[in-house]
Structure 1
């Protein structure tokens, strides 16, 4: 189910795509949009921030928010901003399903201790999942979580949404993420779980996610078949020097 800010973003996106808002048009200010959608300005700001990351709109300090229009090579269905920390269920809704390959508890090695800021005696979960979009395998996820963060983690929880469970059931507030992208050739394991040939190009996303209090919440390595997913970044700073 879409959140309110996603509904607002979708409504404005549709108005841009159907020509109700033309390239160069000035959007109504946040107060006007908040009244129009019966929400607060923070919700409107979150919606506009998302559209700005897609490149559909841009902001000029002191002047307002303008329509840029759709970037032809951006695919809304398969592309995601590199700094998006939504969970799969929030992004795909009922289209995503998960299959747990394994759920184990182990003691962290030196790398995991440093990455998740743990002691050697602090156990971590190791979760391997395949994520399907409309029944098609898209993500092979290899995730590590501190046991003390979610002590009752189960396969049933992992088959749904880890992030949603952490947010709604545990009150964990996820904040920042650092992601590293690499191009690799599919391993035997990738070929099996992603239904591709061994050696097929895949995208590896290595990431750490922190909570808003600065504590590490997750370390993961995700593999995606090369033709199933793209990541985008919108530079919103001034590139030129006047």
Structure 2
């Protein structure tokens, strides 16, 4: 069901205003996160009463097109489209966003080649003293932060990786330059509260819920090549899993593992 179809019953004047605002949102004239203005000024601008404007905004809020924040610093804001994170496929964020009609972008926070800690050594099945390529990026959806990504890859397997452009899909780079493609991934998902720094980076409030996704990825030969940790804004992300029916005789075969946990900060 589209935003245009998700409508509560309102009067004809409010319906006209609703359609005008929705049209501006859908054509990009009003961008995600943009503040529409106070109810009074909006009503004056569109030549309707405040009660009519209130009806129109209520219908848009019910449809998920806007969110209204009360208080002195509040107002009505265009709600950002949610990203569907499909756990049934191993796919990079750029491809994920393109498939949903959104523009992908990145901001590189840090890159380095470092000696792997014990946790990373175990996850990547590396020997003591091994080095990893360490990449930290902010992923953007339609120009707004959607996730904070921390990826670690075996440095010996991917020499000169840091000399390549890292603003796009790492999976595309690994396939093109190192003939490595993901074959299977195991992901563990936990709901956590954003720290002050994480909230600042992702443009949300301290303590806001984030989806913490820890991923270990194997190539087509079953060799681990990626260990990563992503923090997705929970208010902008929907998790989905598509599971085909499996004959009983094959139900004990290999597959992707998803663990859902909830962590509460004391």
TM-score, normalised by the number of residues in structure 2: 0.58
2:227 to 219, 223, 226: 219
1:85 corresponds to which residue? 90
Pick the aligned partner of 1:197 from 202, 205, 214: 205
Residue of structure 1 equivalent to 2:161: 153
Q: Distance in 2 between matches of 1:130 and 1:198?
A: 17
Q: Is the 8 A contact 1:103 1:155 kept in 2?
A: no
Q: Displacement of 1:238 after TM fit?
A: 7.2
**Unmatched 5+ stretches in structure 2:** 1-80, 248-266
DSSP 3-state at the match of 1:192: helix
Asked if 2 retains the 8 angstrom alpha-carbon contact of 1:179 and 1:206, the reply is yes
**Larger Rg, first or second structure (1 or 2):** 2
8 Å CA contact retained: 1:176, 1:211: yes
Q: Does structure 1 residue 135 correspond to structure 2 residue 143?
A: yes
Corresponding position of 2:122: 114
Per-residue CA deviations over 1:33-89 (Å, capped at 9, x if unaligned) read xxxxxxxxxxxxxxxxxxxxxxxxxxxxxxxxxxxxxxxxxxx96223213211122
Q: Structure 1: where are the runs of 5+ without partners?
A: 1-75
Cα contact 2:138–2:147 (8 A) shared by 1: yes
Match of 1:102 among 99, 110, 113: 110
CA contact under 8 A between 1:107 and 1:120: conserved in structure 2? no
Once the two structures are TM-superposed, the CA of residue 132 in structure 1 deviates from its matched residue by 0.5
Query: What do the CA deviations read for 1:178-230 (whole angstroms, capped 9, x no partner)?
Result: 00010010012211210111100111111101101111111111001111111
Q: Which runs of 4+ in 1 moved over 4 A?
A: none
TM-score (norm 1): 0.63
